[in-house]
Structure 1
Amino acid sequence: MIRREFLQHSSRVAALMAAGGLLPLGAQAAWQSNAFEAKSMTELMKALGGSAPVESKEVTLTGPDIAENGAVVPVGVATTAAGVKRVMLLVEKNPSVLAAMFDVSDAVDANFSTRVKMGQSSNVYAVAMTGDGKVLFAQKEVKVTLGGCGG
């Protein structure tokens, strides 16, 4: 009896979350693979329909100056820019430049932390894209002593 009630309540909660856009939809399975296949920031902006990137103080990037292990490099991105709809982390010398992409809504604070894999020392970019296609970025060089992409 308790299990049946639990399942009924779970399905109601899941339905409400899906209706509110809080659960991923099956249609989102066709994510933008062309963005993750980009080899440079220029190719990435073209794939996402963004304008030419402009360096901005409204975007901040945190990360170590030297990463001992390139397999797990902690980085963070935050922005105070208005109208931001997407935040990305890029690693310039990785086989795929796009390391992470976060969609932002008005209900979400544009402040993310994660770990990225870096094969070698490289520039890391924090990129914020607004709803009208304006692209702002910050960059930082991260030196890697032990590569994380098979090196």
Structure 2
Amino acid sequence: MTVSDMNNGGHSRREVLSRRQVLWSGARLMGGLLLLSLAPIRAWAQALEGMFKERTVDDVLKALGDKPTPSDQIVLTTPDIAENGSVVPITVKSSLPSTTDIYLIIEKNPNPFAAAFAIPDQTDAMISARVKVAQTSNVIAVVKADGKLFSATRETKVTLGGCGG
């Protein structure tokens, strides 16, 4: 055994390089698998990207594909009066079976489409977020369940400096 072999833990230089190559190959493989697993999420996000540019609620609903049916199985919670319109807490809970997506639309915002959430299978369909509500308007929760759209609407008043709006 040479001094060079002893510096490599008794293994030849060829074996050390081989291990490094195996580690790098494994790391590349794991990175590739990670990218492949993110592909459906990326496709979903790209499909939604155009909706953030829509200027009216009707245009957003048209981009979603259908006019939603109002449902009492969607519980939309917003404050009656929001003192700070830039951080309005919103909670949406859907009891509809097979809920796959939840969308938030703020009627009088310059861009009404506020948020989109993908709901994984076998999970409770509930989201909580803070969104900007530019002025007193309707907040609309649209739920996609079993391939159909359903909605719940609630008015939220936004005050300016603590005075009613």
TM bucket (normalised to shorter chain) is: 0.7 to 0.9
Q: Which residue of 1 aligns with 2:49?
A: 33
Taking the TM superposition and a 5 Å limit, the aligned residue runs for 1:95-110 are: 95-110=110-125
Work out the number of aligned pairs and report it. 139
- Aligned amino acid, residue 56 of structure 2: S
Residue 141 (1) aligns with residue 152 (2): no
Task: Give the whole-Å Cα distance in 1 for the aligned partners of 2:45 and 2:94.
Answer: 27
- Specify whether residues 28 and 47 from structure 1 end up closer, same or farther in structure 2 by C-alpha distance, changes over 3 A only: closer
Q: 2:108 aligns to what SS in structure 1?
A: coil
Task: Give the whole-Å Cα distance in 1 for the aligned partners of 2:45 and 2:152.
Answer: 30
| Aligned partners of 1:18 and 1:24 also within 8 Å | no
| Aligned partners of 1:54 and 1:137 also within 8 Å | yes
Q: Which residue of 2 aligns with 1:121?
A: 136
- Specify whether residues 128 and 15 from structure 1 end up closer, same or farther in structure 2 by C-alpha distance, changes over 3 A only: same
Q: What 5-or-longer segments of structure 1 have no aligned partner? A: none
Q: Which residue of 1 aligns with 2:72?
A: 57
- Aligned amino acid, residue 154 of structure 2: K
Task: Give the whole-Å Cα distance in 2 for the aligned partners of 1:114 and 1:14.
Answer: 31
| Aligned partners of 2:97 and 2:146 also within 8 Å | no
Deviation at 1:14, TM superposition (A): 5.8
Deviation >4 Å, runs of 4+: 7-25
- Aligned amino acid, residue 78 of structure 1: K
In the superposition, the TM-score normalised over structure 1's length comes to 0.75
Q: What 5-or-longer segments of structure 2 have no aligned partner? A: 1-19
- Aligned amino acid, residue 110 of structure 2: P
In the superposition, the TM-score normalised over structure 2's length comes to 0.69
Query: What per-residue deviation string (whole Å, max 9, x for no partner) do you get for residues 62-111 of structure 1?
Result: 11100001011111111011122210111101011111111123144211
- Aligned amino acid, residue 116 of structure 2: M
Name the structure where helix makes up a greater proportion of residues. Answer: 2
Deviation at 1:32, TM superposition (A): 2.5
Q: Which residue of 2 aligns with 1:48?
A: 64
- Aligned amino acid, residue 119 of structure 2: V
Counterpart pick for 2:126 among 111, 130, 141: 111
Which protein shows a greater Rg? Answer: 2
